[in-house]
Chain A
């Protein structure tokens, strides 16, 4: 079974530039998550989708971050404009909604963003 795919793996940009990340979840997983993991910290949830609807975006800095999952499969996360403090690994995860397995989240390898 293919895992969660993310691209790019690394991105270096200057502050005030824009950047976009892409995620393809595990086939059949209805729920998709974007996390921000700053060095030395645990992942922090930015946004959670159920199919193509937003379930929780309470911790998404909406003045600069946006995310979409138009067809309920792939998702993109955008930062515009980037700030130095956005330097982090951006992790995508997905989970099923069937029985006991629905809580288990599977993570992608992440995109490491460096803002200079």
Chain B
């Protein structure tokens, strides 16, 4: 089955600096890569996603890049703010059957923004 590895497990950055989280996946059939943000005690929420036919996508201070050949994708947060502190999960999705997809999550990165 699919295996998604995520690094680092913890990351602390000064407010205003950039943060980068990296993930690798094992199954070349995976074609959709969402990133979820989970604040303490709350539900995971989708913050950005990318499909396999796109190499990069940006939404304000957040960007995601995908390298299909190397099977890795990254989340970039610029101009970090205290409210960016949370656990971030990457995930990889592939078609299983009858038009259904299966999502496999990484182990998460706890991001702390230091004021």
- Is the A/B pair a real complex? yes
Residues of A participating in the B interface, judged by any CB pair closer than 8 Å: 4, 31, 33, 40-45, 48, 50, 55-56, 58, 91, 97, 100, 102-110
Taken together as a complex, chains A and B put the C-alpha atoms of A104 and B91 apart, in Å, by 11
Taken together as a complex, chains A and B put the C-alpha atoms of A58 and B102 apart, in Å, by 11
- B32 to A45, Cβ gap below 8 A? no
- A109 to B42, Cβ gap below 8 A? yes
User: Which stretch (B43-51, B57-65, B67-75, B78-86) binds chain A?
Assistant: B43-51
- B100 to A91, Cβ gap below 8 A? no
- A91 to B96, Cβ gap below 8 A? no
Q: Which residues of chain A have C-beta atoms less than 8 A from B99's C-beta?
A: 97, 102
Given contacts A103-B49, A107-B43, whether A41 and B107 have CB atoms under 8 Å apart is: yes
20 example contacts (A-B, Cβ-Cβ < 8 A) are as follows A41-B108, A42-B6, A42-B105, A42-B107, A45-B102, A45-B103, A48-B102, A50-B100, A55-B96, A55-B98, A56-B102, A91-B43, A91-B44, A97-B99, A103-B34, A105-B34, A107-B36, A107-B43, A107-B45, A110-B43
Shortest distance between the CB of B15 and any CB in chain A (Å): 25
Q: Does chain A have a CB within 8 A of B89?
A: yes
Taken together as a complex, chains A and B put the C-alpha atoms of A67 and B42 apart, in Å, by 23
User: Chain B 102-114, CB within 8 Å of chain A: the 1/0 string?
Assistant: 1111111000000
- B102 to A42, Cβ gap below 8 A? no
Nearest chain B residue, comparing its CB with the CB of A105: B103
Name A40's contact: one of B96, B101, B108 (CB within 8 Å): B108
Give the interface centre of B89, B97, B105 by most chain A CB atoms within 10 Å: B105
Name B44's contact: one of A43, A44, A45 (CB within 8 Å): A43
Q: Which residues of chain B have C-beta atoms less than 8 A from A104's C-beta?
A: 34, 46, 49
- B102 to A43, Cβ gap below 8 A? no
